[in-house]
């Protein structure tokens, strides 16, 4: 889990490490000329954990078909290149990405884990320490019924029908992950939602399986 920080030092989105020089995030997080610092090994944003690694983002590659003006959340995935490679250790480590079919099967197989420093309440203040949450995967029919907004094939829903726990503003771009034993695979990217943790509403995520080839 990486924290993306603007030129004022404020965190605005998350990202996941796929190798020493590249991260994956949500395309809607970034504009073309944005000045972005990626902080890996972060835990408490208000103090020095002595584990952080800060890198400049030198290239932003949204998915080629991403078109912010047409639909901000369609194909909501992007790759970020870092100026210097990260040093991997027990605090900074890449997440695995499997094949398309493997990723699809794993996704629908059980609950996922989401994380970030986003808001603790809708429009509320951001978390100071990294928050981690397990969320149930929601089948497509239930997902479509929960909203009047179009849920495309490239998206999926996850969360609690009763509400109360969810990703929120500032968590976008962060990982939705499934584990097999101790190995974690990236199956989704936090994308959007209607408010946060509302009963009958779910968090909406970009389906990584659809973009594995491109990545």
Nearest to 100 by CA among 154, 60, 137: 154
Which residue among 73, 76, 115, 166 is the active-site one? 76
Is 108 annotated in the active site? no
The percent helix, strand, coil of the chain (3-state, each to 5) is: 10, 35, 55
- Dihedrals phi, psi of 140, to nearest 5 degrees: -60, -40
DSSP 142: H
Is 73 annotated in the active site? no
Write the burial class of residue 47 (CB in 10 Å: 0-12 exposed, 13-18 middle, 19+ buried). exposed
Which residue among 3, 28, 73, 74 is the active-site one? 28
Write the burial class of residue 194 (CB in 10 Å: 0-12 exposed, 13-18 middle, 19+ buried). middle
Is 90 annotated in the active site? no
For residues 77 and 206, is the Cβ–Cβ distance under 8 A? yes
Q: Which residues are catalytic?
A: 28, 76, 172
């Amino acid at each position: 889990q990486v924290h993306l920080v603007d030129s004022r030092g404020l965190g605005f989105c998350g990202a996941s490490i796929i190798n020493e020089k590249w991260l994956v995030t949500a395309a809607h997080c970034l504009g073309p000329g944005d000045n972005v610092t990626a902080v890996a090994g972060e835990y408490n944003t208000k103090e020095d954990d002595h584990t952080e690694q800060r890198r400049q983002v030198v290239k932003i590659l949204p998915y080629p078909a991403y078109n912010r003006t047409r639909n901000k959340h369609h194909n909501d995935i992007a790759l970020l290149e870092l100026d210097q490679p990260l040093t991997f250790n027990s605090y900074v480590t890449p997440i695995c990405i499997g094949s398309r079919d493997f990723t699809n099967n794993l996704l629908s197989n059980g609950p996922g884990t989401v994380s970030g420093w986003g808001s603790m309440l809708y429009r509320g203040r951001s978390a100071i320490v990294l928050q981690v949450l397990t969320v149930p995967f929601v089948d497509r029919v239930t997902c479509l019924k929960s909203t009047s907004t179009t849920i495309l094939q490239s998206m999926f829903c996850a969360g609690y029908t009763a509400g109360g726990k969810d990703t929120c503003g500032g968590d976008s771009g962060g990982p939705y992950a499934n584990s097999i034993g101790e190995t974690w695979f990236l199956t989704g990217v936090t994308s959007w939602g209607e408010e946060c943790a509302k009963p009958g509403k779910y968090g909406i995520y970009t389906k990584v399986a659809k973009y594995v080839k491109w990545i």
